[in-house]
Amino acid sequence: MCLPAGNPLSRTLRARWLLGGCLLFVLLVAVVWRIWPREPARSSGPMPHQAYVWQRSWGPQVPEAIGRAEDRLAGVVVLVVEVSWQDGRPRVATAEWDAILLSRLKMPVGLAIRIGPFAGPFRADDDTADLLTGLAFAVLKQARDTDLAVGELQVDFDCAESKLSGYRTWVEAIQRRVSPTPIVITALPSWLRQSAFRKLAEAADGFVLQVHSLERPKGPDAPMTLCNPTAARHAVETAARVGRPFRVALPTYGYVVAFDSTGKFIGLSAEGPMARWPKDARVVEIRSEPAAMADLVQAWTDDRPMNLQGIIWYRLPTDKDALNWRWPTMECVMTGRRPLPAVRAELRRPEAGMVKVDLVNDGQADSTSRIRLKIACGGADLIAGDALGGFQWKGMSTDAVVVESPEPPASCVLAVGQRRTVAWLRLDDDKEVRVEIEMVQP
């Protein structure tokens, strides 16, 4: 049936169609607004910096480091317990942490539980869940008993990407057991691609995005890095779209990586070469790059997603660390400035005719460049001498010598604040000795 154009019924139908079309359009816009990726709000300015205390055994150096951190950091997160599985059975290892010392600090303190790989099943009320929730409750009770106010409980689970939904079950169970203590999870950039991660993040009170790791190297000459700055910035922008508050974890540590004579990977260590490695092992050192990390800090200080709420460093420097940063390096990087070494030579005369040459690094970063020293004897005749501290005797004349640090892959790092005797000379007269320092480019 066709109605005349002027018919009142025709006008009513057209109005209804128009109204229906408008409603459908509004509904479509609402759906698109809901699912379309939106750019997160931006922020700028200095961020708070925290650090992980991840030592299983403290000794005197860890309390000393925490004491230095109190006026420099916005907080620490302390490893307190680890859970792993062997032959399907859980193993619990408790770290030696000092709750009384932590309770006296003027900065916020978080506690961390480390959980090793677990294949499942994931339930809220089985023996595994009871173990994890019980451990979380126990460490918080220990803190309360010493008047330690815990700002957050971090869960660091080495979770497979396919198990993120099951992980959420654990997070919700732990949260119910320890409420109102905030639960924060650590997350990897690869998790951000998984649809299950958003619900996992929503179950927690926040997350820490770990943009540092070392993949198993393919060989001694293959490129190795602990943190790719470009990838880190991309991961932060992706994480911001999850819509939850988060921090980013950046590295301060280093490794030595060992390969056998065929180039096969043997192992790695954070405290120098291992005694069990073969004598002919090829050792490669990989360190966190302070300049690159300082550039990241400065970039996020200038512009960052608003829900990026701070940086947490792995890990707190101690005087015992072999490959970790020193405090001057970390303090400089936290301001977004590139730290630099400042190497100078000092001469000592322990006895007549004897000169010892020391190198001292007064800068903010370790010196990893090759160093060449030209030592002029001021007209005195050189009777004897030698290089020390890993340096090599490269040449001599009657009144001058040259010593150098070795070429790669040998390591001759001069750490921040370190003093090293690199040469001695026996002269026939106490003439004035001068030293010229040259940084040799690779």
pLDDT score at 339:
97
- pLDDT interval class at 216 (50, 70, 90): confident
4 pLDDT exceeds 80?
Answer: no
pLDDT score, position 398: 66
Position 292 pLDDT exceeds 70? yes
Give kind and range of the element (H or E) at residue 174. Answer: helix 164-178
- Mean confidence (pLDDT) of the chain: 91
* pLDDT at residue 397 greater than cutoff 80: no
Predicted pLDDT at 274: 85
Can you tell me the distance from the alpha carbon of 71 to that of 73, in angstroms, rounded to the nearest whole number?
6
CA angle 305, 309, 315 (to 5 degrees): 120
For residue 111, what pLDDT is reported? 98
397 vs 373, residue with greater confidence:
373
Provide the sign of the torsion angle of the four alpha carbons 358, 363, 365, 369, taken in this order: negative
pLDDT confidence of 144, banded at 50, 70, 90?
A: very high
Identify the structural domains of the chain with CATH numbers, from first to last: 42-250+289-334 (3.20.20.80), 254-287 (no CATH), 343-440 (2.60.40.290)
Least confident of 150-154, 259-263, 308-312: 259-263
Tens of pLDDT, residues 234-263 = 999 999 999 999 999 999 999 999 999 899
> Is 164 a residue whose pLDDT tops 80?
yes
Is the pLDDT assigned to residue 38 strictly greater than 80?
no
Helical segments of 279-434, H only: 290-302, 327-334
Q: Residue 122 pLDDT > 80, yes or no?
A: yes
pLDDT at position 31: 47
| 428 — pLDDT class (breaks 50, 70, 90) | very high
Residue 168 predicted with pLDDT over 80: yes
Alpha helices in 36-126 (DSSP H): 61-69, 99-103
Query: Tell me, what's the pLDDT at 396?
Result: 77
Average pLDDT over residues 24-50: 72
Residue 33: pLDDT above 50?
no
Higher pLDDT, 270 or 114: 114
Instruction: Identify residue 8 by its one-letter amino acid code.
Output: P
The H or E element spanning position 17 is helix 8-35
Mean pLDDT of 303-330: 95
Strand bridging mode 183-187 / 150-157: parallel
> What pLDDT, on a 0 to 100 scale, did the predictor assign at position 39?
79
In this predicted structure, the answer to whether residue 32 has a pLDDT above a threshold of 50 is: no
Average pLDDT on 327-336 reads: 97
- pLDDT at 42 > cutoff 70: yes
Q: Are 55 and 324 within 8 A, CB to CB?
A: no
Give the mean pLDDT of 409-426.
86
Pairing of strands 354-361, 343-351: antiparallel
Mean pLDDT of all residues in 202-221 = 93
